[in-house]
Amino acid sequence: MDFGKSRQPFLLIMVFVVVCVMSAIAMVYTKHESRKLFVELEKLTTERDELNIEWGQLQIEQSTWATHARIERVASEELSLVRPKSTEIYVIERQ
């Protein structure tokens, strides 16, 4: 009977040791995953910033291509269009 009583605290200590080791391993794993996700977040943030810069540049380029002066130049040079004379313009009114 003495053997059973002395064995009980040993088992309890072993259970606590196993639980502590598992807890430490879980903490290390969680910290590793956290760092890995943080690195991914930083990469995605950098990519987002680069895409925002590119989007802004594309908007500037689009506005440059759509300026009135450029459209007039393309119409006259490439399409051979000419501005009508004021005598050739007719105003039609709705009644």
Q: Is the model more confident about 45 or about 4? A: 45
How many of the other CB atoms lie within 10 Å of CB of 31? 10
Average pLDDT taken over every residue of the chain? 90
* pLDDT, mean of residues 13-21: 96
Three-state DSSP at 90 gives coil
The residue assigned the tokens 């925002």 is: 52
pLDDT band per the 50, 70, 90 thresholds, residue 2: low
Predicted model pTM: 0.57
CB 81 within 8 A of CB 75: yes
Residue 21 pLDDT exceeds 70: yes
